[in-house]
Amino acid sequence: MIEQLIQSLSTEAAGEALSALCSEAKTKAGRAAVEAALGDHAQLYALLRTGTPKVRKNVYRLLGALENPTDLPVLTEALQTETTLFTVPSLILALGSLGAGDVLLAYTVPVSESPEQDKHIAAITAALDKATQPLCKTQRELLHRLPAAREILCVAPKGFAKELQEELDTLGFTGRIEGDAVRVIAADVERLYHATAMVEALLPIAKNVPLDPVSIAKAVGPCIGKQYRIELRGYLKDRAKLIERLKPRLDGVNAPSDYDCELRIECRGDTADLYWKLWNVPDARYPWRCETIPASIHPATAAALVRYARKLVGDVPAVFDPFCGSGSLLFSAEQAFATKGLLGVDLSSRAIAIARSNAAAANSRARFVCRDILRFQTQRGAGLLVSNLPFGNRVGSHRANEALYAGFVQKLPALLASGGAAVLYTADGKLLEKLLRSNQKLELVSVLRTEAGGLSPYVFSVRKAVKPM
């Protein structure tokens, strides 16, 4: 697909091909694939000299998406020579993606010479503001302590509130479970930032507030920081209109990309629940999470899952992940409790390379092997097996899973030590449940449903069946 698009760059369809390549380059893996297929950017540079304005615009977009520092001199020169106004916003954003702050801050927006040019000048100005805004961001610190003790809602991954409650207890918080959250009362919020099984921490403001700007602003009161952003959830009408009407009534300054705090508005019909969200700085809870793959599990879910799994076994276990990906579950297990060993296996050499890199960054003792689990041999089974299996939509397919899951479940008893247990996480739950129930060497202990990016994965807890006397 990518190779075909690159071949089209020398045809009249170059503009469309460039646009499609921009879509391919939206992910880290996609950027790597486009770069590998291009070889170098000579063909793109040639299009900047010979292409139509539409083609040049899409070249700027693609160079911005690729974020290759070697393009900086070419883009800098283009900013000085480009005369077609509607292409300039894409050029500015490309320079912004490369961190060309000195170039952008020295740039002067052209003066509009006609009503027809007004919209282009406005677009250039908006692009320049967006590209330079990160250069002007304030260095922020975590909110370490509240003025007084108050309720804090600690949100867990769906189905794992008990695991979060247990972790919070070890950190010195006494919490009450409410649905998929744990409510605590505290002023010292710095300790909360060590809770690895927590998705987010919210300060409740008010419940069942009428959904109009005056009522919301009155309920919110003073902002807990100088700058804020508004997160509006579940609103079915004109979102932009409500936010614009609300901003002048709130204390502080609305700064969606450079803020001290987030005002969360959870809408239900004509009323809303209001919260301040803590945590406005980069998340430092997962030092091993340097690089991921598209199917990587959310780190808070990984943390909750391994705590959930640990309760299935008694002795300190050796932990094994047969579909380890970038290593999230093994690193989370190492972070949560003592282990006798940590071993990950994956068929993807790229995933194993990322996992090893993450391990080095976090000084982890986890080991990783690139191997097909169906051909993997072990002399000693694991006390605890925890894995995020291929879902069949983000990775692989349901049809491919039929053979993979069948082979894996047949092999699973041999992968477990006597008394060992497994916790398996997948969205292809009906297939896996059928296979687990039909294997007499395994005992299906429990089935849990959780949530991940709009999907509802299953969590299966399995024990190696005890041989009859």
Whether the predicted pLDDT of 137 surpasses 70: no
Contacts of 348 by beta carbon, 8 Å cutoff, 6+ apart: 293, 325, 370
Q: What is the pLDDT of residues 280-305, one digit of tens each?
A: 777 889 999 988 887 789 999 999 99
Residue 339 phi, psi dihedral angles, 5° rounding: -135, 155
Distance CA 276, CA 202 (A): 6
Band of residue 395 on the pLDDT scale cut at 50, 70, 90: low
pLDDT score, position 10: 83
Cα torsion 399, 403, 405, 408 to 10°: value is -160
Q: Which residues pair with 212 in a beta bridge?
A: none
Q: Identify each DSSP E strand in 66-178 by its residue range.
A: 145-155, 176-178
Of 205-209, 237-241, 456-460, minimum mean pLDDT range: 237-241
| CA-angle at 303, arms to 148 and 156, nearest 5° | 50
**Side-by-side strand order, sheet with 341-346:** 367-370, 341-346, 318-321, 382-388, 416-426, 458-464, 442-449
* CB 157 within 8 Å of CB 298: yes
* CB 19 within 8 Å of CB 34: no
pLDDT score, position 469: 37
Distance CA 459, CA 447 (A): 6
Whether the predicted pLDDT of 46 surpasses 70: yes
Can you say how many angstroms the Cα of residue 312 is from the centroid of all Cα atoms in its chain?
Answer: 29
Average of per-residue pLDDT across 423-446: 95
Q: Burial letters for 345-384: b for 16+ Cβ neighbours within 10 Å, e otherwise?
A: bbbbeebbebbbebbeebebebebebeebeebeeeebbbb
Q: Which residue has the higher pLDDT, 112 or 157?
A: 157
Whether the predicted pLDDT of 237 surpasses 70: yes
pLDDT score, position 111: 84
Q: Burial letters for 135-155: b for 16+ Cβ neighbours within 10 Å, e otherwise?
A: eeeeeeeebeeeeeeeebbbb
Angle, helix 88-97 to helix 115-132, in steps of 10 degrees: 0
Best-predicted range by mean pLDDT (51-55, 287-291, 439-443): 439-443
First-last CA distance in the chain: 59
* CB 78 within 8 Å of CB 107: no
Q: What share of the chain has pLDDT > 70, as a percent?
A: 96
Can you say how many angstroms the Cα of residue 390 is from the centroid of all Cα atoms in its chain?
Answer: 18
For the chain, the average pLDDT equals 90
DSSP reduced 3-state for 195: coil
Residue type for 285, please? Answer: R
Q: What is the pLDDT of residues 68-110, one digit of tens each?
A: 988 999 999 989 888 899 999 999 999 988 888 888 888 888 8
* CB 164 within 8 Å of CB 154: yes
Angle, helix 398-415 to helix 429-438, in steps of 10 degrees: 40
Cα torsion 459, 460, 463, 467 to 10°: value is 180
Nearest to 391 by CA among 423, 422, 424, 355: 424
E strand or H helix at 400, and its extent? helix 398-415
CA 28, 32, 35, 37 dihedral sign is negative
Whether the predicted pLDDT of 206 surpasses 60: yes
Whether the predicted pLDDT of 165 surpasses 60: yes
- Domains along the sequence of the chain with CATH: 2-136 (1.25.10.10), 145-277 (3.30.2130.30), 299-464 (3.40.50.150)
Distance CA 34, CA 348 (A): 20
Q: Which residues pair with 458 in a beta bridge?
A: 426, 449
Whether the predicted pLDDT of 384 surpasses 80: yes
Q: Which residue has the higher pLDDT, 32 or 135?
A: 32
pTM here is 0.72
pLDDT score, position 240: 87
Band of residue 239 on the pLDDT scale cut at 50, 70, 90: confident
Band of residue 246 on the pLDDT scale cut at 50, 70, 90: very high
DSSP reduced 3-state for 419: strand
pLDDT score, position 304: 98
Distance CA 390, CA 146 (A): 43
pLDDT score, position 11: 86
Residue 209 phi, psi dihedral angles, 5° rounding: -85, 135
Residue 427 phi, psi dihedral angles, 5° rounding: -85, -15
